[in-house]
Structure 1
Amino acid sequence: MNQHILQLCLSPDLGGLELYALRLSTFLAPEVNLTCIVSEAGRLKGAFDKAGVPCIPIRKPPKLWPFHAARIIAGIIDEEDIDVIHIHWTKDIPLAVLAKLLSRKKPKLVQSRHMTMTRFKGDVYHKFLYKHMDMMIAVTRQVQEQIEAYVPADVRPNVETHYIGAKTPQPIDEGQKQALRAQYALGTSFTVGVVARIEEGKGQYLLIDAIKQLKKQGMDVKALLVGDAMTDLYLEDLKAGLKRDGLESNIVFTGFITNVQELMQTCDVVVLPPEEETFGMVLIEAMKCGVPVIGSNRGGPLEIIEDGRSGLLFESLDSRDLADKIGYLYTHGEERDQMAREGCKRASDCFDEEAQFQEMLDVLTSM
Structure 2
Amino acid sequence: MSHKVMHICLSSGWGGLEMYPSRIIPELQRQGWEVHGLALAGSRVADSLAAAGVTPLSVASRGGALLAVARILGYLRRHRIQVLHCHKSSDLRLVALLKTLRPSLRLFFTEHMGVTRPKKGLYHRWAYGKLSRLFSISEATRARNLKAFALPPERIQRLYLGIDPTPYAVHGDIDALRSELGAPPGALLIGLPGRLTPGKGQDIWLEALVRLAVRAPALHWHAVIIGGLHASEGSDEPYVAELEAKVAALGLGERVAFSGFRGDLPRLLRALDIVCIPSTNEAFGLTVIEAMAAGRPVIGADSGAIPELLDGAVGRLAAPDDPDAWAQQLEALADDPALRQQLGGAAEERVRRDFSLSAHVAALCDAYVAADTGKEAA
Question: Shorter-chain-normalised TM-score: which range?
Answer: over 0.9
State the alpha-carbon separation in 1 of the partners of residues 154 and 104 from structure 2.
Answer: 16
Using a 3 Å threshold, how does the CA distance of structure 1 residues 125 and 67 change in structure 2: closer, same or farther? same
Aligned to 1:180: 177
Structure 1 residue 140 corresponds to structure 2 residue 138: yes
State the alpha-carbon separation in 1 of the partners of residues 4 and 182 from structure 2.
Answer: 50
Paired residue type of 2:306: P
Paired residue type of 1:149: K
Q: CA deviation at 1:287?
A: 0.8
Could you tell me the TM-score, scaled by structure 2's length?
0.90
Structure 1 residue 355 corresponds to structure 2 residue 359: yes
State the alpha-carbon separation in 2 of the partners of residues 316 and 232 from structure 1.
Answer: 22
2:334 counterpart (314, 326, 330): 330
**Structure number with higher relative contact order (C-alpha < 8 Å, ≥ 6 residues apart):** 2
Q: CA deviation at 1:204?
A: 1.0
Q: CA deviation at 1:243?
A: 1.7
Aligned to 2:374: none
1:309 counterpart (295, 308, 313): 313
Aligned to 1:116: 114
Paired residue type of 1:58: V
Q: CA deviation at 1:314?
A: 0.6
State the alpha-carbon separation in 2 of the partners of residues 22 and 29 from structure 1.
Answer: 11
Structure 2 gap segments, 5+ residues each: 230-234, 372-378
Aligned to 2:194: 196
Deviations 1:201-247 (A, max 9, x none): 21111111111111223132222111113243322222222222211
Using a 3 Å threshold, how does the CA distance of structure 1 residues 92 and 200 change in structure 2: closer, same or farther? same
Q: How does 1:232-247 map to 2 (within 5 A)?
A: 232-247=237-252
Using a 3 Å threshold, how does the CA distance of structure 1 residues 136 and 153 change in structure 2: closer, same or farther? closer
State the alpha-carbon separation in 2 of the partners of residues 173 and 350 from structure 1.
Answer: 22
Aligned to 1:163: 160
Q: How does 1:239-258 map to 2 (within 5 A)?
A: 239-258=244-263
Q: CA RMSD in A?
A: 2.0
Q: CA deviation at 1:297?
A: 1.0
Structure 1 residue 227 corresponds to structure 2 residue 227: yes
Q: Say which SS state the counterpart of residue 134 (structure 1) adopts.
A: strand
Q: How does 1:86-97 map to 2 (within 5 A)?
A: 86-97=85-96
Q: Is the 8 A contact 2:21 2:49 kept in 1?
A: no
Percent identical among aligned pairs is: 25
State the alpha-carbon separation in 2 of the partners of residues 43 and 255 from structure 1.
Answer: 19
Q: Say which SS state the counterpart of residue 7 (structure 1) adopts.
A: strand
Q: CA deviation at 1:298?
A: 1.1
Q: How does 1:58-137 map to 2 (within 5 A)?
A: 58-62=59-63, 67-102=66-101, 104=102, 106-137=104-135
Structure 1 gap segments, 5+ residues each: none
Which stretch of structure 1 is more off in the superposition, 8-17 or 350-359?
8-17
Q: Is the 8 A contact 1:169 1:289 kept in 2?
A: no
Equivalent pairs counted in the alignment come to: 361
Deviations 1:279-320 (A, max 9, x none): 0011111111110111111111111011x2111111122111
Deviations 1:79-123 (A, max 9, x none): 322211111222211121122223x36401111121212222221
Paired residue type of 1:10: L
